[in-house]
């Protein structure tokens, strides 16, 4: 979603901001722009489309020591040059960039128009620049505070003022902002990836916090204008983790990183000899863990699918009732949080607004929420009562892959931990943790077979309207497989519980319908096999993901088969998803799609 980058210091801000915006491209955007203060004016360049469109209009000699840049993902107003950020005040002396939504902008805009202001864009954001101009009293810092009081909604805002060119004003309410501390230079961005090449020392702003950022210092205050001391954190990701290396896309790189990212997710957390797990970050005493009566999982998209897998695994291994809800639905319910419930907010980015707000609602009801997140220091882990970092490393491609498999590991570990406090004995525990430790090698085995999947993908590239079917632990994988395919190839795909097809979706099946069956060798195999015969009888084109043991049986019916290694059936989802990630990738590649930045999508969904 929209990206924000600001710089003040001794170097030329233009390449730093443009490079920072490129580092945020993966979040999704449809226009970009930059404003810098240059002697007696604010120079602004903005353009619809990719960042190189905007770069192409930048004068070669353009330079400045203070500037702000933005990638916009349209909400209010179409995709156009005029709606791109930054937005200038009417007199051109103030420039702002904004992430989020100003909910009362219609009313504010109307008043400003009545007072004679003429707006240039259709956005909600432009009113901020105009209000700043109207309120300006010779002290930009004070003006900024006053203006914030008039804004309703969610925002991350950066503002610069020509008459006071030595600082950037910044405010956060609902949209992430991080200050990067350099030597005689400061950065500010909506995502630390924007400036990781320059500094790893960061300060995370919380909601209702403001900062005045100068070259050598920053001053932080809350919305009551009381000074606050912020902790400086060190980010441990390095820039190389953000490079594509020899891979043609980040998505492919991230798929292939999974043996390693999965290993990192359980590293140091397994106690082999007694078959259990330690998850210190949960911040729960053994007694509190023992007393858990119910688990509640909230998440969106792929993280929701990981939560679904988690619910099967927790109920099976720990015998604790578990419900999973889509955060955007949950947040507007009046949810019943029973005593003894522990909640998980699952999020790769840690910034998804629906998950964050659902989490806050649970906390308001007095219950604890644990995060299962990837991005260290992001808002959800900061505001949660504890949790598990999955340590996948930066996930750049919009389509989530390695974060999903690491989220599964987090649930496997949690279920084993709680299970061992209940019905699971030591030997069963040892079996489980030993199997978890073998998963990276099994994933590697599937990846070694990628050429075969690439060949199969050719045939499926010519088809459309895919059905993904699975039962039990393969049902969330069916959903995730379908999501991957539609996100990056724009082909229609639907994930359905295999047992449900007779209740409707079977009507879709004809000789042109590709049906992907996810059917590891578990207790539901025979049931899914019957569904496969029903599809065959109607002429559907069948691709099956299965184990070697069942290949012979399936080959008589399916058109294509992808074999995955054997595992404990409880962990099958982590293996069955890998060929589906690869299949989607190769289909999208054959179709020439923009795989890492699919149309209309954003990596981090920070608006409702
Ligand atoms: O960062 P989060 O895990 O909270 O993101 C949730 C969804 O927006 C995300 O999983 C989305 O569905 C991805 N594009 C899936 O590939």
How far, in Å, is the centroid of ligand 1 from the Cα of 398? 8
Pocket test for ligand 1, best of 304, 352, 405 (most atoms within 8 A of CB): 352
Q: Is the pLDDT of residue 223 over 70?
A: yes
Could you report the per-residue pLDDT of 468-477, keeping only the tens digit for each? 999 999 999 9
For the chain, the 3-state helix, strand and coil shares in percent, each to the nearest 5, are 40, 25, 35
| Ligand 1 center–CA 357 separation, angstroms | 15
Catalytic residue among 2, 13, 161, 300: 2
How close is the Cα of 436 to the center of ligand 1, in Å?
24
Averaged over 195-222, what is the pLDDT?
94
**Residue linked to tokens 């690869």:** 582
Q: Which of 400, 487, 604 to mutate to test the pocket of ligand 1 (most atoms within 8 A of CB)?
A: 400
The CA 345 to ligand 1 mean position distance, Å, reads: 12
Cβ-Cβ contacts under 8 Å for 60 (sequence gap 6 or more): none
Q: What pLDDT band is residue 546 in, cutting at 50, 70 and 90?
A: very high
Q: What is the pLDDT of residues 323-340, one digit of tens each?
A: 999 999 998 988 899 999
CA dihedral 63, 66, 72, 75 (to 10 degrees): -140
Nearest atom in ligand 1 to 355's CA = 4
d(CA 203, CA 183): 15
Q: Give the Å distance between the CA of 449 and the centre of ligand 1.
A: 27
Ligand 1 atom with the shortest distance to the CA of 380: 4
Q: What is the pLDDT of residue 240?
A: 58
CA nearest ligand 1 atom 16, residue: 399
Among 109, 253, 589, 603, the active-site one is 603
What is each CA distance from 349 to 187, 263, 311, 391, 473, in whole angstroms?
20, 20, 21, 12, 24
CB distance 410 to 428 below 8 Å: no
pLDDT band, residue 376 (cuts 50/70/90):
confident
> Residue 278 catalytic?
no
Q: Which atom of ligand 1 is nearest to the CA of 605?
A: 8
* CATH 3.40.50.10490 applies to domain 250-447: yes
pTM of whole model > 0.75? yes
- Same CATH topology for 250-447 and 449-597: the answer is yes
Q: Which residues line ligand 1 (CB under 6 A)?
A: 300-303, 347-349, 352, 355, 398-400, 487, 601, 604-605
Instruction: Read off the tokens for 448.
Output: 């070694």
* Range 3-241 classified under CATH 3.60.20.10: yes
Task: Pick the closest to residue 199 from 210, 207, 190, 188 (CA basis).
Answer: 188
Beta carbons of 369 and 283 less than 8 angstroms apart: no
**Distance from the CA of 36 to the center of ligand 1, in angstroms?**
33
Query: Which of the four CATH numbers 2.30.29.30, 3.40.50.10490, 3.40.50.970, 3.40.640.10 does domain 449-597 have?
Result: 3.40.50.10490
3-state secondary structure of 516: strand
Which tokens in the block code for residue 605? 């969904």
Distance CA 431, CA 314 (A): 16
CA distance linking residue 528 with residue 470, whole number of Å = 7
Atom of ligand 1 nearest to the CA of 401: 16
Atom of ligand 1 nearest to the CA of 400: 16
- Establish whether 230 is a catalytic residue: no
| Cα(331)–Cα(606) distance, integer angstroms | 15
Structure tokens at 427: 């030997």
Q: Residue 100: is its pLDDT beyond 70? A: yes
pLDDT band at 441 (very low <50, low <70, confident <90, very high): very high
pLDDT attached to residue 79: 87
What token pair was written down for 329?
A: 């639905």
Residue nearest to atom 11 of ligand 1 (CA): 301
Domain segments of the chain: what residues?
3-241, 250-447, 449-597
Rounded distance, CA 469 to CA 482, Å?
9
Average pLDDT, stretch 210-224?
96
CA distance 327 to 354: 5
Instruction: Return d(Cα 403, Cα 395) in angstroms, integer.
Output: 7
Determine the pLDDT at residue 239.
59
The predicted pLDDT at position 30 comes to 87
pLDDT of residue 83: 93
As a whole number of angstroms, the distance between CA 163 and CA 137 comes to: 11
């Amino acid at each position: 979603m929209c990206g924000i980058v600001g710089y003040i210091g001794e170097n030329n801000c233009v390449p730093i901001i443009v490079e920072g915006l490129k580092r945020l491209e993966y979040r999704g955007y449809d226009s970009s722009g930059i404003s810098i203060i240059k002697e007696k004016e604010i120079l602004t360049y903005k353009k619809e489309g990719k960042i190189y469109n905007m770069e192409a209009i930048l004068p070669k000699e353009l330079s400045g020591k203070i500037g702000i840049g933005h990638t916009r993902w349209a909400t209010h107003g179409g995709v156009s040059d005029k709606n791109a950020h930054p937005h200038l005040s009417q007199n051109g002396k103030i420039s702002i960039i904004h992430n989020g939504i100003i909910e009362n902008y219609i009313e504010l805009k109307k008043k400003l128009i009545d007072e004679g202001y003429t707006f240039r864009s259709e956005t909600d954001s432009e009113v901020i620049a105009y209000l700043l101009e109207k309120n300006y009293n010779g002290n930009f810092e004070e003006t900024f505070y006053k203006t914030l009081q008039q804004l309703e909604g969610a925002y991350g805002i950066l503002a610069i003022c020509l008459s006071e060119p030595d600082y950037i004003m910044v405010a956060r309410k609902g949209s992430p902002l991080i200050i990067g501390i350099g030597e005689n230079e400061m950065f500010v961005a909506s995502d630390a990836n924007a400036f990781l090449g320059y500094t790893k020392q960061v300060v995370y702003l919380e909601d209702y916090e403001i900062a005045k950022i100068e070259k050598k210092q920053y001053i932080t205050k809350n919305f009551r204008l009381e000074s606050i001391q912020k902790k400086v954190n060190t980010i441990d990701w390095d820039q190389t983790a953000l490079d594509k290396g020899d891979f043609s896309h980040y998505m492919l790189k991230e798929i292939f990183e999974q043996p390693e990212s999965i290993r990192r997710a359980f590293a140091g957390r397994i106690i082999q000899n007694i078959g259990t797990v330690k998850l210190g970050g949960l911040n729960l005493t053994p007694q509190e863990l023992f007393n858990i009566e119910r688990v509640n999982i909230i998440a969106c998209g792929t993280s929701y699918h990981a939560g679904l897998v988690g619910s099967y695994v927790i109920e099976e291994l720990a015998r604790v009732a578990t419900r999973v809800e889509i955060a955007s639905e949950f947040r507007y319910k009046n949810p019943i949080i029973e005593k003894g419930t522990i909640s998980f907010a699952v999020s790769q980015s840690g910034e998804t607004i629906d998950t964050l707000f659902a989490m806050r609602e649970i906390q308001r009801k007095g219950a604890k929420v644990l995060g299962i997140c990837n991005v260290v220091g992001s808002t959800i882990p900061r505001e949660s009562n504890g949790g598990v970092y999955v340590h996948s490393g930066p996930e750049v491609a919009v389509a989530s892959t390695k974060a999903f498999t690491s989220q599964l590991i987090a649930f496997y570990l949690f279920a084993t931990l709680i299970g061992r406090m209940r019905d699971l004995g030591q030997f069963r525990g040892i079996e489980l943790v030993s199997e978890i430790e073998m998963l990276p090698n099994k994933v590697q085995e599937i990846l070694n077979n990628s050429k075969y999947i690439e060949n199969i993908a050719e045939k499926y590239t010519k088809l459309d309207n895919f059905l993904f079917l699975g039962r039990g632990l393969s049902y969330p994988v069916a959903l995730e497989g379908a999501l991957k395919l539609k996100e990056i190839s724009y082909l229609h795909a639907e994930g359905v519980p295999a047992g449900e097809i007779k209740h409707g979706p079977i009507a879709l099946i004809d000789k042109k319908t590709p049906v992907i069956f996810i059917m590891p060798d578990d207790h539901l195999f025979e049931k899914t096999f019957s569904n496969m015969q029903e599809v065959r009888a109607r002429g559907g084109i069948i691709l099956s993901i299965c184990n070697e043991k069942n290949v012979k049986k399936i080959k008589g019916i399916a058109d294509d088969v992808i074999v995955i290694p054997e595992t404990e059936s409880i962990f099958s989802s982590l293996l069955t998803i890998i060929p589906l990630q690869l299949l989607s990738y190769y289909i999208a590649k054959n179709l020439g799609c923009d795989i890492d930045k699919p149309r209309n999508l954003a990596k981090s969904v920070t608006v409702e």
